[in-house]
Amino acid sequence: MDLITWLSDRNGIGHRADARAAGFSPTHVRAAIRAGHVRRIRASWIALASAPRELVAAAAATGRLTCLSLARQRGWWIPDGASARLHLHVGTNAHRLTADAVLHWAKPLVDRGNRVLEASVEDALAHHAQCLAYEDAVSVWESAAKAERLDPESLRTVRWPDAASRACANAVTGLSDSGLETVFVVRLSTWGVPIRQQVRLAGHNVDVLIGTHLVVQLDGFAFHSSSADRTRDVRHDAQLRLRGYTVLRFTYAQVIHDWAYVEATIAAAIARGLHLRPA
């Protein structure tokens, strides 16, 4: 394997100590740099021109991707309108960036050494708790728990560094199918009515069940978009109504941008006793 292939297998960027361990001598690496095949990122890293900008910036800053930047890379849910600024976890030895970046100066929960350009999942979650509004942070945590197959009870045993992280850990259920669902549940969590997620009714799971008989289905961007999906949803709604349930459907735009309408509609339904078993 040549150096270019070795770097390509590592997302286009690698630590020079790892390159040496893989059999590429310092002389070999310096020759590749002089020839323009790879570029040097500070003293310790080498990269191809195709290396992701975020990872190159992390190496240049002696930091690691974290918070929203790591969430994007790993496919976690991102709050609507979240800033595209780079988020880096850095220590006291960090090189200050001239570029616009959010720097998380903190002792890591998991010290992964100086050859890794991504923060641990636990550190990234702690940074989300400190960086985002509570409902957005919990939504990211729920998404990460699902994507990374994290057990909510195990998350609660982590030695989180602050109250915000502990609050998020205590709120995670592992039940949400989407960030939209988490936002909805968090916003209603202080209401004095039982709220359950992903309850199986009439052969399919419903997103949220309020009380015993008020079903809320949330139609996000990624779901319910095809004709077949819509037909399935309408059929399921009909079966729920035949069993005495009231079904309310809200879109992503309504929950995120018109919450007053959603809240008023749910309040009206509860006031009419639609969350209770019919007489």
Q: Quote the CA–CA distance of 176 and 151 in Å, as a whole number.
A: 13
The pTM of the full predicted model, rounded to 2 decimals, is 0.83
Per-residue pLDDT tens digits for 2-55? 999 999 999 999 999 999 999 999 999 999 999 999 999 999 999 999 999 999
Q: Within its chain, how far is the Cα of 160 from the centroid?
A: 18
The residue extents of the domains of the chain are: 3-51, 62-171, 179-271
Query: 179-271 is classed in which CATH architecture?
Result: 3-Layer(aba) Sandwich (3.40)
Going residue by residue through the chain (279 aa), what tens digit of pLDDT does each one get? Answer: 799 999 999 999 999 999 999 999 999 999 999 999 999 999 999 999 999 999 999 999 889 999 999 999 999 999 888 888 999 999 866 666 556 789 998 899 999 888 999 999 999 999 999 999 999 999 999 999 999 999 999 999 999 999 999 999 999 999 988 889 999 999 999 999 999 999 999 999 999 999 999 999 998 755 446 677 788 889 999 999 999 999 999 999 999 999 999 999 999 999 999 999 987
